[in-house]
A and B are shown apart, each in its own frame.
Chain A
Amino acid sequence: MGSGAESLPVKLDGRRRGVSRDAVFFLVMGGLSASFVVLIVLLLLADVSFTSPAAFAAALRKPEILAAFRLTMLTCTLAAVLSVWVATPLGYLLSRFRFPGSRLVDVIVDIPIVLPPLVLGLSLLILFHQPFPLTGVFGAGWKLEDWLEEFAGFPVTYRWPAVVLAQFAVSCAFAVRTMRVTFDQINPRAEDVARTLGCTRGQAFLQVALPQAWRGILTAGTISWARALGEFGPILVFAGATRFRTEVLSTSVFLELSVGQLDAAVAVSLMMVLMAVAVLLFLRWLGAGMST
């Protein structure tokens, strides 16, 4: 008993010191975390305070902004659908198989994520306008853009398909990452069992793996859509920023700024913030569903 009574104050003292150590921990961690959160909140508040609801509504009624909004919705949706269409098989292959060059493919898929946006746009421009030495097939100096325009009747550069392609080039990389992680989390043995029951690999993918991946597919689509919404550099270089033709919301901000229309630029920015928040909320909802 005696020793217990003597040791009690020491224990309490130790606890008190532990509490004070925890306080320092939370102060440091919380302070550093808050600095970023506060920065984002201040940015949004600054945008909101810069404009009035009337100015916001007036800017958004401008025909060129409405056209840009419509084109943004169209191109982002097309880019997201294309991204999921490509990312689902690619993510599955990278998740399930080790084939010659699979590591290289893994690295190549990530290139658009790390490439400077302007470089990506420039690369797309070069790809479509560089003469290729395909003498035997198409003749010397064959260009992809010329071929698309003359033979397929579908010119791309500086037109809306270029917007979709520029958005797709980046957003697909994010979709592939998402789909790979999705399939990594799905038990491959279920597909093995399906094969012993008579499935081909294709049937096992379609009937067993794909139905389990639906939340991942939705997430990949949403992330791709959000990424496409924020795309600017490659669109500017590859599609240009022509009003009523290739102008999307991200380029609207740039165009409005360049002609000194700060109110309109801020209004479009706020509109994009609202769209981004909606996407984030949808993603959170998906994430909550996945965890349950």
Chain B
Amino acid sequence: MIELRDVTVRSGDYCLEGISFQVQAGAYAVLMGRTGIGKTTLLEAICGLRRLVGGCVLLGGVDVSTWAPGDRRIGYMPQDLALFPTMTVQQHLEFALRLQRATSSVVAARVAELAGLLEIEHLLQRGVRGLSGGEAQRVALGRALAARPALLLLDEPISALDADTRRTARQMLKNLNRQTGVTVLHVTHDQEDAELLGDVCLQLERTSAGRVQVQSSGVGL
């Protein structure tokens, strides 16, 4: 389970104040809100890339607010995917496992498992420069999932894909959530994404007083 309690985070002059919500373990939560309202800032705060000014982030009931990003067991997939241009697809899948000093056999088994799950076996030896949007997205997803995170943060993961690829990607994300049991927090602008994927919808809204708050709506929308 992930819980935010009165989280305050700054991005330049912009400030999100007193953000609170919780998502049950294994749920697929969709985070929506207008452009520039602070969705990406919030994701960065959850995964530890942005320091909290106030409040706390709890994962499985443990306060991880002061933990280093790599200690939180969070997989993060930014909007631009941020693949590593000098690495092959296989090196992307191995990256987190190598940092954990996993044995070669464990690494090989996990890479094979992920490649099968994401249907990227044929891409393993390729660099990432020539990948299509859908392929790159699956590689980024595999990289984020490799170390079996407890929480997966997806920042508009399918917004740049064409309609067909998007449909497939939605199905893949939902399957991943069901098969691996990973809790997902998925930022999107697309109402259709929210309706088809979300168990829970979190809406970042600006109140008449100018504060941003989270409205949560229930299972199945």
Q: Is A195 within 8 A of B70, CB to CB?
A: yes
Which of A23-31, A87-95, A107-115, A185-193 contacts its partner?
A: A185-193
Chain A residues contacting B69 (CB-CB under 8 Å) are: 192, 195-196
Q: Is B47 within 8 A of A197, CB to CB?
A: no
Cβ of A181 within 8 Å of any chain B Cβ, yes or no, is no
Cβ of B80 within 8 Å of any chain A Cβ, yes or no, is yes
Q: Is B82 within 8 A of A196, CB to CB?
A: no
Chain B residues contacting A192 (CB-CB under 8 Å) are: 44, 49, 69, 76, 78, 82
Q: Is A198 within 8 A of B70, CB to CB?
A: yes
Q: Is A197 within 8 A of B99, CB to CB?
A: yes
Q: Which of A187, A196, A208 contacts B76 (CB 8 A)?
A: A196
Q: Is B68 within 8 A of A197, CB to CB?
A: no
How long is the Cα–Cα vector from A200 to B70 in the complex, in angstroms?
8
Q: Is B76 within 8 A of A194, CB to CB?
A: no
Q: Is A199 within 8 A of B99, CB to CB?
A: yes
Mask, A162-192, CB within 8 Å of B = 1, is 0000000000000000000000000101101
Chain A residues contacting B35 (CB-CB under 8 Å) are: none
Cβ of B198 within 8 Å of any chain A Cβ, yes or no, is no
Quick one: given A193-B76, A193-B78, A195-B49, are A208 and B143 in contact (CB under 8 Å)?
no
Cβ of A53 within 8 Å of any chain B Cβ, yes or no, is no
Cβ of A211 within 8 Å of any chain B Cβ, yes or no, is yes
Cβ of B157 within 8 Å of any chain A Cβ, yes or no, is no
How long is the Cα–Cα vector from A194 to B98 in the complex, in angstroms?
12
Cβ of B74 within 8 Å of any chain A Cβ, yes or no, is yes
Cβ of A123 within 8 Å of any chain B Cβ, yes or no, is no
Q: Which of A187, A197, A200, A212 contacts B96 (CB 8 A)?
A: A197
B interface, size bucket: 20 to 34
How long is the Cα–Cα vector from A193 to B71 in the complex, in angstroms?
13
Chain A residues contacting B132 (CB-CB under 8 Å) are: none
How long is the Cα–Cα vector from A105 to B36 in the complex, in angstroms?
32
Q: Is A199 within 8 A of B76, CB to CB?
A: no
Chain B residues contacting A194 (CB-CB under 8 Å) are: 84, 95
Scan residues 42-70 of chain A and give those whose CB is less than 8 A from a CB of chain B: none
Residues of A within 8 A of B (CB): 187, 189-190, 192-200, 203, 208, 211-212
**Beyond A195-B70, A196-B49, A199-B99: 13 further Cβ-contacts under 8 Å?**
A189-B78, A190-B84, A192-B78, A193-B76, A193-B77, A193-B82, A194-B84, A195-B48, A196-B47, A196-B74, A197-B146, A197-B147, A212-B86
Some 28 contacts from A to B, beta carbons below 8 A apart, are A189-B80, A190-B82, A192-B76, A192-B78, A193-B77, A193-B143, A194-B84, A195-B68, A196-B47, A196-B49, A196-B69, A196-B72, A196-B75, A196-B144, A197-B70, A197-B95, A197-B99, A197-B143, A197-B144, A198-B71, A198-B99, A198-B100, A199-B99, A200-B68, A211-B84, A211-B86, A212-B84, A212-B86
**Pairs A-B, 6 closest by C-beta atoms:** A198-B70, A198-B99, A189-B82, A197-B96, A211-B86, A190-B82
